[in-house]
Structure 1
Amino acid sequence: MRGDRLLTILLMLQAQGRMTANELAEKLEVSERTIYRDMDALSGAGIPVFAERGKNGGWSLLENFQTNLTGLKESEIQALFVSPSDQLLDDLGLTRPSEEARNKVISSIPAIYREKAKEVWNRIYIDTSSWRSRKEKIDTFDVLKDAIWQDHKLKIVYERADGQISERIVEPLGLVAKGVNWYFIAAKENGEIRNYRASRIHTAVTIDETFCRPEHFNIARYWEGSKKAFIEELPIYDVWVKVPKSMLLTLSFTNHFVRVVEVRAQDHDSFIPVKLSFHTEEDAKRYLLGFADQLIIIEPEDLHHKIFQLAESIVVSHKLGDKRQFRKRVGDCVIHSY
């Protein structure tokens, strides 16, 4: 274990430049006294580590010191060679560079691990797309990619979810892939950071003006916070239904915004009570209508009547018969109630 820790310290100092004993102790989950002993061990092994006192002090390596480290553990090699999403790499134009980088890493690791590293490609494959999703067309993607690397402001024309179109100047901070969809993260001129669905950016023009990125901005931390806030603000409409056991998997195999919240034990009538959560009542009505007589609505009590009215309106709009004939023919078969 100590050998792994010494190697990790060396890697961290090589990457960070300077770290305090406290920082190293926290990251490695050991005491500062242990770190001091490890530094003595590294120094004794001929590694040029030295400490600087003062406010900005800490442990560091002699300037320009580099070492070729091949002490990767097997699990670390596996982590490096797990295949990323081909589609996302292709979107970023990094498919070929990714393959070339992995080949270079393979050539640098010990021979005893080389074949195991290659085998990872044949044993684990990551596909981030859903079964029915289609790839979004993003005409401005190349401009967005260039802007986040160059720190140039952009003038974009953006279409909101409600169809409203506006023009704005933004400061590009990054791109986030959620499933197969891309989101453009940028700061407005007042400093407020916003998320933009990349496929809804109609045009993006680079402005010959740079900006300073927000200090300590971390895109992963920002996205997790933004996602959590978005989920918490979503409206909730819960529905209890009864379904045959064979339908349980079908309930969530859909593109609708529905979530299976709770599944109870099977009733005496061979139906299973299930709690479904939607964003709105309208979402629930349209989703449940699609199952026709295959499920039974328990709560809310008035929902079955509202769905029945929706079904009637569909029949009338398609001129398949008048309402009286529809009621007589369908009866309680479309949606059962209690």
Structure 2
Amino acid sequence: MTLKTDVAIIGAGPVGLFAIFECGMVGLRCHVFDALDVAGGQCSALYPEKPIYDIPGFPRISGAELVERLETQAAPFNPVFHLGQRVDQLQRLADGGFRLVTSKGLTLEAGAVIIAAGAGAFGPNRPPLPGIESYEGKAVHYYVRRAEDFRGKRVVIAGGGDSAVDWALALHGIAAHIHFVHRRDQFRAAPDSVAKLGQLNGRGIDIVVPFQLAALEGDGTSLDAVVVTSLDGENRRLEADALLAFFGLKSDLGPIANWGMELALHHLPVDPATCQTSQSGVFAIGDVATYPGKLKLILTGFAEAAAAAHAIYPLLHDGQPLHFEYSTSKGAPGLAAD
């Protein structure tokens, strides 16, 4: 069965979620796709509990709360989500619309497409440890969604960047004990955070340097210990219930790069007035979009979502111009005025 909608949104991060709202405000129905199995993009996968300070109207808001509020704002427009699947094919139809086919075989036809894919599909750089795949999602994690999931656990954190150091500080006092493993005694994280980590060394956190991951001990699901080794061949066995491996992300545009649009250093150049790509009917917003003076901020992506929605309306209504109304006068379905 082929599904049909007005707009297909590729990417369910904050900017993609806000695009649902902006499309809904001009009467456009949306289906939303994301390779991750949860909405929220990197906000959900990488920093759900870390504060964000540059969202208008919120002096401080966590990634998870921002995603929740955006979902609430979009919900009255009844978006249909297709999570945990990548859009592999984008084909132009005779009527000017598009057919999308996903990695799970789902087929959708849409009048226009908004690509809000951030830096593209992303995934963790997995440490080369034998048998690590069987532990992933149970005892080995590349993202932290809730600090409380590690309460009372013995945790090994590996890495030397901001994610590793920040989560070591955040889990201090929650985890029973933390071993912090890095292959050298210099860190790439913010100096203030590194200083705080050093102050906690021996006080719930043991810094293990210069060592690197060597092996996992356990039954393939539950972890007993992480074995680390130094450059001199010294081995240490760190008792652990969980391994948090923060070695960065690998990302690429994947199939998007083969859809016939102009590319610029893994980004999609767009008209800043409409956010349309070099292919008519395909728009790009958020970090994946580029134009002179572009600022890679969530709030910039929000403005781009509005521009794209307003540009799509006449495309799907035979050139009929959109009668612009402010939300203060028009209101929004399902969102009661205070």
Regarding TM over 0.5, the answer is no
More helix by share: 1
More strand by share: 2
Higher relative contact order (CA 8 A, sep 6+): 2
State TM-score, norm by structure 1.
Answer: 0.23
State TM-score, norm by structure 2.
Answer: 0.23
Q: Indicate the structure (1 or 2) with the bigger Cα radius of gyration.
A: 1
